[in-house]
Structure 1
Amino acid sequence: MKSLYRIAVGAAILAAAGTAAAQTTLRASHQFPGGQGDPRDEMVQIIAREVEAANVGLKIQVFPSSSLYKATEQWGAITRGQLDMSAFPLDYASGRVPQFSATLMPGLVRNYDHAQRLNKSDFMKDIKALVEKSGAVVIADAWLAGGFASKKQCITSPDTIKGQVIRAAGPAFEQMLAAAGASISSMPSSEIYTAMQTGVLDATNTSNDSFVSYRIYEQVKCLTAPGENALWFMYEPVIMSKKVFDRLKPEQQKAIMSAAKKAEDYFTGEARKGEKKMIDTFTNAGVKVVSMSKEDFDAWMKVAQASSYKQFAEKVKGGDELLKKALAVQ
């Protein structure tokens, strides 16, 4: 009996070892705070939970808060196959792929319903083809509205930005803001708080969720929420290394895409709640909250057309055609 017991135990150990050996662990990195309700972190966590539950020999280990790669390092790591997955603001890679700055073009996306329509457009097909050509693949779409915040004064019309040093997130917004008289300091959203605290920044653009997750309400006097005239919308999808995705087994790829669909559905609903959460948080912190009027928005768009739109159409390869495809989506 003891001999049979030892054989049984040995077989169980070997089986467990075989299962462990068969399991592949992927690493997901992003810059957003983990475990604090940021929907971008939760998107990645949903994918990790759903993939593990699918029991296809795949596990995803999540590294939030730039704990594995810095925000600006993630694109290169993904495309080289050194990093497997990321929730990534695509415009951060516009220095390498200039066309990506169209995904943070002032006034291009008007609201979340418009963003959903844009996801199905030829414009996004072209963007995703460029993502894939670069060595990554989009597995879940995510658009976030955002606004302005300042330590000095409320930012509404273009003349209110003059003389302020602002972080804008990407080339298109930087060009527009510089044309309106602002000074630009470029950095990822994870560095805004410290830059404001140390006097490097007077003001910033970022998403509703980043305003809350990074506690920007502790550093500013006035918040300009998106309201009915959102000027700032940014594409922040979940991406994977194409090298990594292509070498997975078909059932593993299917599990990832199924999980990503659940994460995207979650985010679509959650992102719409972000503005109210942001306004409530800033109001409770004693920050003045305003929004742009239609006249303010139109004034900004005149500046944008003469700066960021013009430069993108003239200087970015295929830029004019890409903008036409985006603007054709009503």
Structure 2
Amino acid sequence: MKQLNKGAKAILVGAIVSAGFFAGSAFAQEHTARLSFHWSPTHHSAIHAQMFADEVNKRADGRLKIEVFPSGQLFGIREQLGAITSGAVEIGGIVPIVSFPPVNKNYNVAAFPGMFNSYDQQRRFFAESEAGQEIWNDITGKSGTTLLMYNPVGPVMTFSGAHELDSLEAMKGLKARALIKSERPMWEAYGANTVSLPTGEVYTALQTGMIDTINSPPGSIRAYSWWEYLGYAQLPYQYFSDAYLMANTEWYNSLPADLQQLLQEVGAEVGAISTDKIIETGEETLAQFKERGGVVTELSGEKKAEFDALMAAEVVPAMVDLIDDSVLGAAQEFVSE
């Protein structure tokens, strides 16, 4: 082989160095993601979504960077799932009882009054039972999404600015916000009037008197300052409203396996923290609500029996139309075991 002259050697060395540089750059490629959610930064779910992003960014050591967009900067509560599905964002905060029923109506079972007694029981239904798995797989398959983290918004109860919610008579004529379809049978049975509103419009609607009553987790009335116009609350809780951080599956599958594992590990860790604290957060909010002069009525005895009778006679039959009989039976069997 001929000896290379100096010029040829220089070219060869440069090529080798360049090849090494580009190979190293490809290996250290930075992946990026936009995390969108509608919660305000002080909301329980927003705090833990931010915690998730911060922890992933720290552990990824520059290989994955998540940028956070809170407060509906990109998409509102009703648009998040579509944004993830389309790839408009890579990760989003989903309130499933809002986003999932249009994909599969049987997810309404999660909001069936008194069906599940905890977040754990509700999640296990969708993860372990045949009926629940079928619902879950259908939704995630059609929407092209992958679960990263449980991030609950809190157990739901009724708040009002009208008057104390201590009887069925007190519920008549209330101007109630309806966020989800499964709420309407209850409001109709109570004789209340309903207005459909996304989260971002609730404060103004309360301020102007368009509505005076909402179903909400306690933490939300503090995070969005709704308690400025709400002075009365009613227990017990109606159902456990969960939320998730979900990723676009195509984007998720494009990541190296170790980054996928990192997202799942951080999601499990931060999700456990979020879940452990959510009931405590609700109780703290109700204590502060009372300190502000709020009145919390916990139904019991004959009063509760009146509400229960109305639920059984009118609300439950109306909600059954929103869920397949087989799914409702499967859920009832699951919780009885």
The TM-score bracket by the shorter chain reads 0.7 to 0.9
Q: SS where residue 251 of structure 1 aligns? A: helix
Structure 1 residue 41 displacement after superposition = 1.0
Q: Distance in 2 between matches of 1:155 and 1:290?
A: 7
Question: Kindly tell me: are residues 89 and 303 of structure 1, through their superposed partners in 2, closer, same or farther at Cα, counting changes over 3 Å?
Answer: farther
Does structure 2 retain, via aligned residues, the 8 Å contact 1:223–1:287?
yes
Structure 1 residue 51 displacement after superposition = 1.7
Question: Kindly tell me: are residues 108 and 315 of structure 1, through their superposed partners in 2, closer, same or farther at Cα, counting changes over 3 Å?
Answer: closer
Counterpart in the other structure of 2:251 = 244
TM-score calculated relative to the size of structure 2: 0.82
Counterpart in the other structure of 1:3 = none
1:325 equivalent among 320, 324, 330:
330
Counterpart in the other structure of 1:88 = 94
Letter aligned with residue 75 of structure 2: Y
Q: SS where residue 231 of structure 1 aligns? A: strand
Paired-residue identity, %: 21
Letter aligned with residue 175 of structure 2: V
Describe the superposition over 1:57-110 as per-residue Cα deviations: whole angstroms up to 9, x where unpaired: 211111111011122111111122222212211121233432232222222233
Counterpart in the other structure of 2:212 = 202
1:65 equivalent among 67, 71, 86:
71
Q: Distance in 1 between matches of 2:115 and 2:302?
A: 17
Counterpart in the other structure of 2:150 = 141
Letter aligned with residue 52 of structure 1: N
Letter aligned with residue 126 of structure 1: E
Give unpaired runs (5+ residues) of structure 1.
1-6
Counterpart in the other structure of 1:220 = 230
2:267 equivalent among 246, 249, 260:
260
Verify: 1:280 aligned to 2:298, yes or no.
Answer: no
Structure 1 residue 260 displacement after superposition = 0.6
How large is the Cα RMSD of the aligned pairs?
2.8
What is the number of residues matched between the two proteins?
313
Q: Distance in 1 between matches of 2:220 and 2:73?
A: 17
Q: SS where residue 95 of structure 1 aligns? A: coil
Describe the superposition over 1:143-180 as per-residue Cα deviations: whole angstroms up to 9, x where unpaired: 42121111111224433211011114321122121122
Question: Kindly tell me: are residues 191 and 247 of structure 1, through their superposed partners in 2, closer, same or farther at Cα, counting changes over 3 Å?
Answer: same
Does structure 2 retain, via aligned residues, the 8 Å contact 1:109–1:115?
yes
Verify: 1:78 aligned to 2:84, yes or no.
Answer: yes
Structure 1 residue 39 displacement after superposition = 2.2
Q: SS where residue 154 of structure 1 aligns? A: coil
Q: SS where residue 241 of structure 2 aligns? A: strand
Structure 1 residue 200 displacement after superposition = 0.8
Question: Kindly tell me: are residues 170 and 184 of structure 1, through their superposed partners in 2, closer, same or farther at Cα, counting changes over 3 Å?
Answer: same
Q: SS where residue 72 of structure 1 aligns? A: coil
Structure 1 residue 234 displacement after superposition = 1.4
Verify: 1:174 aligned to 2:184, yes or no.
Answer: yes
2:175 equivalent among 136, 161, 165:
165
Structure 1 residue 306 displacement after superposition = 4.3
Describe the superposition over 1:174-224 as per-residue Cα deviations: whole angstroms up to 9, x where unpaired: 212112211111223332221100111011111121121111221022122
Question: Kindly tell me: are residues 306 and 61 of structure 1, through their superposed partners in 2, closer, same or farther at Cα, counting changes over 3 Å?
Answer: farther
Q: Distance in 2 between matches of 1:298 and 1:86?
A: 40
Does structure 2 retain, via aligned residues, the 8 Å contact 1:32–1:41?
yes
TM-score calculated relative to the size of structure 1: 0.84
2:241 equivalent among 234, 238, 245:
234
2:48 equivalent among 43, 46, 50:
43
Q: Distance in 2 between matches of 1:74 and 1:53?
A: 25
Structure 1 residue 262 displacement after superposition = 0.9
- Which protein is bigger by CA-based radius of gyration? 2
Q: Distance in 2 between matches of 1:304 and 1:176?
A: 7
Structure 1 residue 112 displacement after superposition = 4.8
Counterpart in the other structure of 2:134 = 126
